[in-house]
């Protein structure tokens, strides 16, 4: 269904997917191509593009009320100046996929994995390049079966527009 890059991003099995999310979100007349992504991803992509256009929007512009139906699939991480990240929000659907709510947890090169996902190697490229990233992976939370998912991470800039201050991720369990 989705063309996945041949190389794993990390030892935890995240795989980059070669998919132009922005182009798919801009072309509402092509439902067959849009079916490649969950509707939550397209909703946040359209909102992100409306806020920022050709560049990532400012974090201060983001308002959850404008993406209300997507909120359960969202996770927000603050990008700290020391190249660490902190979860500031985790939607209920993401917490269900992971088997825990990671709000408040810190992510670093020395402590990258939470819920069997290497969040450091998932977030760092988004913060470094300031562009959308699409990945797929799997986790095996306690007391449940393995859950495969697709995630799209979006960068948001600080108020000066100089650096990425937050990433917003949409995580949706894959139905096979």
Name 20's Cβ contacts closer than 8 Å, sequence gap at least 6: none
- One pLDDT digit (tens) per residue for the chain, 176 residues: 333 433 344 445 788 887 888 888 877 656 655 567 889 999 999 999 999 888 999 999 999 999 999 999 999 999 999 999 999 999 999 998 888 999 999 999 999 999 888 999 999 999 999 999 999 888 877 667 788 889 999 999 999 989 999 999 999 988 65
What local confidence, expressed as pLDDT, does residue 33 receive? 58
- C-alpha–C-alpha distance, residues 147 and 128, integer Å: 28
CB 98 within 8 A of CB 78: no
Neighbours of 124 (CB within 10 A): 20
- C-alpha–C-alpha distance, residues 65 and 21, integer Å: 22
CB 123 within 8 A of CB 79: yes
CB 67 within 8 A of CB 47: yes
Per DSSP, what are the bridge partners of residue 139?
Answer: 147
| pTM for this entry | 0.87
* Paired tokens of 84: 């660490």
Q: Per this entry, what is the length of the chain?
A: 176
What local confidence, expressed as pLDDT, does residue 8 receive? 45
- C-alpha–C-alpha distance, residues 150 and 136, integer Å: 4
* Paired tokens of 47: 């909102």
Query: Checking DSSP bridges between strand 133-139 and strand 147-157, what pairing results, if any?
Result: antiparallel
Residue 122 — φ and ψ, nearest 5°?
A: -85, -40
Which letter does DSSP use for residue 111 in this model?
S
What local confidence, expressed as pLDDT, does residue 176 receive? 54
């Amino acid at each position: 269904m989705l063309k996945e890059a041949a190389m794993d991003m990390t030892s935890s099995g995240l795989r980059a997917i070669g998919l132009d999310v922005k182009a798919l979100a801009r072309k509402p007349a092509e439902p067959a191509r849009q079916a490649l992504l969950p509707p939550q991803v397209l909703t946040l992509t359209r909102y992100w593009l409306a806020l920022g256009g050709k560049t990532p929007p400012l974090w201060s512009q983001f308002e959850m009320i404008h993406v209300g139906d997507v909120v359960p699939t969202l996770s927000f991480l603050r990008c700290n100046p020391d190249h660490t990240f902190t979860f500031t929000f985790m939607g209920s659907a993401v917490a269900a996929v992971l088997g825990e709510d990671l709000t408040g947890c810190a992510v670093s090169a020395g402590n990258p994995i939470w819920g069997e996902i290497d969040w450091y190697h998932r977030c760092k490229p988004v913060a470094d390049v300031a562009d959308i990233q699409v990945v797929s992976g799997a986790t095996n939370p306690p007391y449940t079966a393995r859950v495969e998912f697709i995630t799209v991470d979006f960068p948001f800039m600080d108020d000066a527009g100089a650096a990425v201050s937050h990433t917003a991720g949409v995580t949706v369990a894959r139905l096979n």
